[in-house]
Amino acid sequence: MTSTAQAQKSGAGTAHPDHLGHVIFIAAAAAMGGFLFGYDSSVINGAVEAIRGRYDIGSAALAQVIAIALIGCAIGAATAGRIADRIGRIRCMQISAVLFTISAVGSALPFALYDLAFWRIVGGFAIGMASVIGPAYIAEVAPPAYRGRLGSFQQAAIVIGIAVSQLVNWGLLNAAGGVQRGKLMGLEAWQVMLGVMVIPAVLYGLLSFAIPESPRFLISVGKHERAREILAEVEGDKIDLDARVSEIEHAMKSEHKSTFKDLLGGSFFFKPIVWVGIGLSVFQQFVGINVAFYYSSTLWQSVGVDPTDSFLYSFTTSIINIVGTVIAMIFVDRIGRRPLALIGSVGMVIGLALEAWAFSFDLVDGKLPAAQGWTALIAAHVFVLFFALSWGVVVWVFLGEMFPNRIRAAALGVAASAQWIANWAITASFPSLADWNLSATYVIYTVFAALSIPFVLKYVKETKGKALEEMG
């Protein structure tokens, strides 16, 4: 019997949990790793200029310190799948929470630039793990009818983390008299900003004790009865639980533990589906979205906005990010993943092109001319809105859904690693590119946004409404 036929027999495709709120809580707790990712991505925004001043470094060295966490993210993402298959999804989350807590304390109390960089790598490794485990775990526990919306919790958590970090940074900056190196609690303000990350890290660890292990992992280690109990929790007891367990077991018996070797094949090293996952990850980053969250305060200050206002604009961008994510969560299961991606690509091209145009004008008295300044500000918000309602959500959903069972963990790890590497490339290059030509930098991002349209049309298949066992 095929996986599709078994899914129909068990009723998994139309399953509705008896307690949807409980399923939502489980997905939200798992997505707390996304919150840590968003918080860490954006909190450094408040420390960039302070780190430059304290350690007296140029743009290239500064960019490496800011971006070096992403190397840790790539390593964490690449290894998380194997670790999760060995010790379980929940244990992975707990390890990630511990490492991130240690990183937050170390980052807040650095002895020198080199150990600040080290602690950022440790935190990056933790976030990389969480970035893989979150979408995979949610995809494994969510009923197919709700999987797109629950999968989008990962991105929702990321954007909420970004917004909260910007709000906290703005509050701490004001408490320090508007100076990033002003004193707070015996430390410089930027150190407190980084130290506050301990709170969400500990919360993530605590929440991991309140949610069940993935049924698929439990079946893989022979704990069928516990898997049946959890399936009843998350998919409802109206489905045929025995058939559902058999369906998952059948899918797992027809595969072996996914390894890097399983991804090889085709004419270009990896299997075609793996390249599609890598392409989605790379395009998501090469439109320059994280410039808006790592460097937005520095960017606005470079065109004449005072520091306090630049932090406020960063926060309003984060609110727009949340609005866009909510839109995506509403529509991802209604109109599908591909249409949202295409709509978002078109909107991003418009926003980025307008930013490139605005930044092409010379500064007057250290500021952009009024018309260009407002255009840049509005276009930045337009870009973030269209990213959030599309690529920000659908890439995470796609990566949790699109791979066949036999290679899902390994393929998701490779795709997520590609995402972190692309993120690092953009983050590490932006300060030097901006010093060279800010307008041309945004032209580059516009080109990648435009190229994402034919990529989706030609290579990306819709996954809406399909059970994971149907992917292949």
Residue-level pLDDT at 255: 58
Task: Check: CB of residue 110 under 8 Å from CB of residue 119.
Answer: yes
Task: Check: CB of residue 239 under 8 Å from CB of residue 11.
Answer: yes
Write out pLDDT tens, residues 330-365: 888 888 889 999 999 999 999 999 999 998 988 877
For residue 224, pLDDT beyond 70: yes
DSSP state of 223: -
For residue 171, pLDDT beyond 50: yes
Write out pLDDT tens, residues 260-316: 666 777 666 888 888 999 999 999 999 999 888 777 777 777 666 776 777 777 788
For residue 383, pLDDT beyond 50: yes
For residue 257, pLDDT beyond 90: no
Identity of the amino acid at 65: V
For the stretch 321-350, what's the b/e string if a residue is b when 16 or more beta carbons lie within 10 angstroms of its beta carbon? Answer: bebbbbbbbebbbeebbbbbbbbbbebbbe
Name the burial class of residue 443, with classes exposed (0-12), middle (13-18) and buried (19+) by CB atoms within 10 angstroms of its CB. Answer: middle
Mean pLDDT of the chain, nearest integer = 84
Residues whose CB is less than 8 angstroms from the CB of residue 306 and which lie 6 or more positions away in sequence, other chains included: none
CA distance 146 to 397: 11
Identity of the amino acid at 314: S
DSSP state of 222: T
Residue in this structure with the two tokens 């310190």, named with its chain if needed: 65
Of residues 45 and 16, more confidently modeled:
45
CA distance 196 to 108: 8
Q: Which of 115-119, 140-144, 232-236, 253-257 has the lowest mean pLDDT?
A: 253-257
* Mean pLDDT of the region 246-255: 73
For residue 3, pLDDT beyond 60: no
CA distance 33 to 132: 9
* Mean pLDDT of the region 252-265: 67
| pLDDT tier at 5, thresholds 50, 70, 90 | very low
Task: Check: CB of residue 159 under 8 Å from CB of residue 388.
Answer: yes
Both tokens of 396, joined, read: 């995470």
Count of CB atoms within 10 A of residue 179's CB?
Answer: 14
CA distance 432 to 422: 16
CA distance 68 to 66: 6
| pLDDT tier at 99, thresholds 50, 70, 90 | very high
For residue 470, pLDDT beyond 60: no
Count of CB atoms within 10 A of residue 222's CB?
Answer: 9
CA distance 31 to 401: 16
Beta-bridge mates of residue 187: 184
| pLDDT tier at 204, thresholds 50, 70, 90 | very high
Neighbouring C-alpha atoms within 13 Å toward the C-beta of 138: 34
The full DSSP string for 382-415 is HHHHHHHTTHHHHHHHHHHHSS-GGGHHHHHHHH
183: part of which helix (H) or strand (E)? strand 183-184
DSSP state of 58: -
Residue-level pLDDT at 265: 73
CA distance 410 to 154: 19
Residue-level pLDDT at 198: 94
The full DSSP string for 134-155 is HHHHHHHHS-GGGHHHHHTHHH
Residue-level pLDDT at 2: 45
CA distance 226 to 236: 15
Residue-level pLDDT at 315: 82
Which range has highest mean pLDDT (14-23, 324-333, 439-448)? Answer: 439-448
Write out pLDDT tens, residues 396-447: 788 878 888 777 777 887 887 888 889 888 988 888 888 889 899 999 999 9
Percentage with pLDDT > 70 across the chain: 90
C-alpha 175, offset from chain centre: 30
Write out pLDDT tens, residues 272-284: 888 999 999 999 9
Task: Give first-to-last CA distance, the chain, whole Å.
Answer: 15
Count of CB atoms within 10 A of residue 237's CB?
Answer: 12
CA distance 320 to 308: 19
